[in-house]
Amino acid sequence: MAFTPASSAAAASALVLVETLQRRMVEAMQGVAAAACDDRTPFVPTTWLRDGGRHGGGTRWGLGDTPVFDRASVNVSQVHYDDEPNKQLGSATALSTIIHPANPHAPSVHLHLSWTQMRDGTGYWRMMSDLNPSIAASTDADAFSASLRRVSGPLYDGAAEQGARYFWIPALGRHRGVSHFYLEAHDSGDLAADAALARSIGETTIDTYAALVAASLRAHPQPTAADRATQLAYHTVYFFQVLTLDRGTTSGLLVHDQNDVGILGSLPSHLDRALLASWGARVPPEQAPLVAALVEATVGDERDGVVVVDEPKKRRLAAAVREFYRANPKALDLQAAGNVIPPTVANHR
């Protein structure tokens, strides 16, 4: 299956960029797995189409339940409205990568790079890169942050501050991860320079992350039961942050329902349902029904309180999020935000 790409030259260039980074991430992760334990399980492609491909679509390369990866999802998409001139949005082209290793000592990573082009031809980049360990190692955080500082230069401090604000979880009094980089609506006025920065952020994140995971697997080949319990609790934190605070995830689910499983590719494979339910009393009252709906959507395949987050549950979770925010649009004000709140949903109208 193929989709019709956006017609603009800038969107075409952005698509080449993110597809190149997608291949780099897949090859890097397959290299890590092969070196760690001769695991050569290939990533599997899944294609989705927006309105049958007329308005774009994308391909997700993913795998999970392997000796090295709990879940790995490397998504590229391009949505456009070339044939609908009344839309405010011209096109949106994105790479969204989430890797959750199986070993609790190997950190997870999130990388998002997207080019948004408006109908009038103006556009901007969104760049996010953050390290998310179950068991934190300060040396990993320092190495990851230093690599991003090297390629972003004077932009780093502002991006790190904005990322730390975005990935803060007020109800839990903690961040989701340990190193956060976030540039929203980045437009320096130099299109080529901005694309080069996006490429550098992507390449640096991929290469640094692959090295960190490889080192973690060598240093901790036999995780303990306590390590895995710590990982389960952290994966529940990750799940909670994505589905109650992450504005990008929510916007994607509100815009359309044609890629729910892909959008929720960021979720780890298991969570502690009782722990998740306990946080319903810690969120603002407006969000408590959302937490309850998420808990209800994860019913099934439960053993000793541990729930498998499979594709049917992802579809139920996506529907629960949509239903909640359509009934309670003011609750969107409680979601995470950086310096700028992008009008993602409004752009698609």
Confidence at residue 36, expressed as pLDDT on a 0 to 100 scale: 95
pLDDT tens, residue by residue, 189-213: 999 999 999 999 999 999 999 999 9
Closest CA to 251 of 329, 339, 313: 329
What value does the mean pLDDT take over residues 104-114?
98
Say if residue 31's pLDDT is above 70.
Answer: yes
What pTM does this model have?
Answer: 0.96
If pLDDT is split at 50, 70 and 90, which confidence band does 62 have?
very high
Q: Per residue in 299-331, pLDDT tens?
A: 987 888 899 999 999 999 999 999 999 999 999
Identify the band that residue 1 occupies on the pLDDT scale cut at 50, 70 and 90: low
> What is the pLDDT of the chain when averaged over all its residues?
95
Predicted local confidence at residue 347, as pLDDT: 73
Q: What is the pLDDT of residue 206?
A: 98
- pLDDT higher than threshold 80 for residue 280: yes
Report the pLDDT averaged over residues 217-221. 96
Residues of the chain with pLDDT > 70: what percent?
99
Query: What are the structural domains, with CATH classification, of the chain?
Result: 9-223 (3.40.1500.10)
Q: What is the reported pLDDT for 323?
A: 97
**Average pLDDT rounded to a whole number, residues 133-150:** 97
Residue 58 has pLDDT above 80, yes or no: yes
Give the pLDDT band (50/70/90) at residue 337: confident
Across 228-246, average pLDDT: 98
Predicted confidence at residue 281, as pLDDT, reads 97
Give the mean pLDDT of 240-261: 95
